Amino acid sequence: MELDRRNFCAAAVAGLFVTGEVSAVSAQSSPRNSTERFAREISADVVILGGGLGGIAAAVAALRNGLRVVLTEETDWIGGQLTSQGVPPDEHSQIEKFGANSSYREFRNGVRDYYRRNYLLLDSARAKPNLNPGNGNVSRLCHEPRVAVAVLEAMLAPYRSSGQLILLTEHQVVSADVEHDRVNAVQVKSVRSGRQRVLVGKHFIDATELGDLLPLTKTEFVTGSEAQSETHELHASEKAEPDNHQAFTMCFAVDHLAGEDHTIDRPDDYAFWRDFVPEMTPAWPGRLLDFTYTHPSSKQPKQLGFNPTGGRSQNGALNLWTYRRMIDAAQFKPKTYPGDISLINWPQNDYVLGNLFGVTKDESDKHIKQAKQLSLSLLYWLQTEAPRPDGGTGFPGLRLRQDILGTEDGLAKTPYVRESRRIRAEFTILEEHVGRENRAMATGQDAAKVQAAVFKDSVGVGSYHIDLHPSSGGDNYIDFASLRFQIPLGALLPVRVKNLIPACKNIGTTHITNGCYRLHPVEWGIGEAAGCLASFALNENLTPHAIRNSTKHLESFQTFIRNQGVETEWA
């Protein structure tokens, strides 16, 4: 059942809506007058669905260019994988020097300044230009999610105060009004009150973690892994597997109080997860809850360690405690912290028994519940059975920190998502464009000297090895070298829909290339490009597709974004 634009807004607030798959009529009565109806309709130049890093970057770009913006977020925290999902940023090794947009650097500097202003740092730590509050191994800026929330909110604060930005937290997108190849409006619902609003815009940016707007707007999309016969990628599957998605993870934070006992109640599913052996190809080396895992590159068993007092762990193995540590107590004044605080996002709590999309809501909820049981079981195993460097078992001093992630159960507000629906794009990024070995084969160059494909429509840059975690389809790690890459504008353009722009993991990558385009600074760069694209299109009265398909307009757009601190090529 289709509704035209005029009837959509009135029907939506009366309880009649179109989801793109089913339609339904509620028992609610129509609004008593037009004033109430229009109070539930919000119009803007750009409507952004999803307040993760891509959504925030898109909003910042659109706002600084004078557009009116409505931004929604499903949780009460903006920031996505950095905050509500709990994961400190995964970044390339040269991030302090180059390879990121100036607005992303502004955010990173804001995090450091927040600690300098508000925390009891030692003078030696405060003086560090590249302060890393957690001194975690995974990043040069490991920090608490709440600090990221505060900094991101500060970046949006002037625009919220002036009314240029309307931010609707704890709102989910539920339906869309689409006419031919354009989106006219979307309907969102408050997860607290159930109140529904209609958001009308000229451009719509999908920055949701799972690409939720794509099926609602009937935008063509791809899921899971493509067949090698389709993409000709070196590491692609033999056949297409739409339901083969990377693992997701329910992260949690802990500190360690030596000599104390903070053991949680035994999780209901502990016996299952304690004995669980993943069924994967190549084979997982044993139980999931163990310090032996599959090395991502060699696929051989590799020993990890765990020592919450810091330093090296048994046998010189990588200490998981410091891997994603977000507070290094030694950098703060004595007695500020009883111990370090670490974020637990490890191979041992990657969930591979089901997917978050392409299934019913009941199934998705079931998988999230089971993933939470896995993470709690990992914690209980660490507290009671994990081998210690001194030969004993268990670390009962590990304390679950509910306050760090802002939840009652101590787990992140939402799953850490590695894979989304992906648009069928005007241009799809393949392994031959960014994978070192595949690129060398495609170009006939030496693998040690080969460079990534140069895209004439580049709107950003990124760098990260291609890193796919174990999947629901039974794949073990797929992890191999990639090249410093660019973000092509064509990957942000759906093949048909004219005014919908993806802004995170839902761009035109493949299952394989998503592995290096999904990380924090790249998602920010994608989002900023999306916000700039909407601004330039409105200013020039062009469609995003027309900008890319005209050399003159494309060059003007690239000049436009470079002047705003967007890096489009590697130095």
**Tokens found for residue 139:** 């990043």
Please check whether residue 571 is in contact with residue 534, taking contact to mean a CB–CB distance below 8 angstroms: no
With vertex at residue 112, the alpha carbon angle to CA 89 and CA 143, rounded to the nearest 5 degrees, is 40
- Distance, CA of 305 to CA of 387 (rounded, Å): 9
DSSP-assigned states of every residue in 476-512: --EEE-B--EEEEGGGGSBSS-SSEEE-STTSSB-TT
The Cα–Cα gap between 39 and 28 comes to: 17
- CA angle (380, 385, 389) in 5-degree steps: 120
Q: For residue 435, report the phi and psi dihedrals to the nearest 5 degrees.
A: -80, 130
Backbone angles phi, psi at 186, to 5 degrees: -130, 155
**What does the pLDDT profile of the chain (571 residues) look like in tens digits?**
333 444 444 444 333 333 333 222 222 333 344 445 555 999 999 999 999 999 999 999 999 999 999 999 999 999 999 999 999 999 999 999 999 999 999 999 999 999 999 999 999 999 999 999 999 999 999 999 999 999 999 999 999 999 999 999 999 999 999 999 999 999 999 999 999 999 999 999 999 999 999 999 999 999 999 999 999 999 999 999 999 999 999 999 999 999 999 999 999 999 999 999 999 999 999 999 999 999 999 999 999 999 998 666 666 688 999 999 999 999 999 999 999 999 999 999 999 999 999 999 999 999 999 999 999 999 999 999 999 988 999 999 999 999 999 999 999 999 999 999 999 999 999 999 999 999 999 999 999 999 999 999 999 999 999 999 999 999 999 999 999 999 999 999 999 999 999 999 999 999 999 999 999 999 999 999 999 999 999 999 999 999 999 999 999 999 999 999 999 999 8
Nearest to 294 by CA among 280, 274, 312, 313: 280
Element (H, E) at 203: strand 203-206
Q: Which tokens in the block code for residue 266? A: 């035994």
Q: 134 forms bridges with which residues in the sheet?
A: none
For residue 303, CA distances in Å to 23, 316, 318 come to 52, 9, 8
Strands (DSSP E) contained in 232-346 are 248-249, 252-256, 292-294, 301-303, 325-327, 341-344
Q: Say which residue the tokens 């030696």 belong to.
A: 124
Q: What is the DSSP string of 114-181?
A: HHHHHS-B-HHHHT-TT--TT--SS-S----HHHHHHHHHHHHHHHHHHTSEEEEESEEEEEEEEETT
Taking alpha carbons only, the member of 505, 486, 501 closest to residue 544 is 501
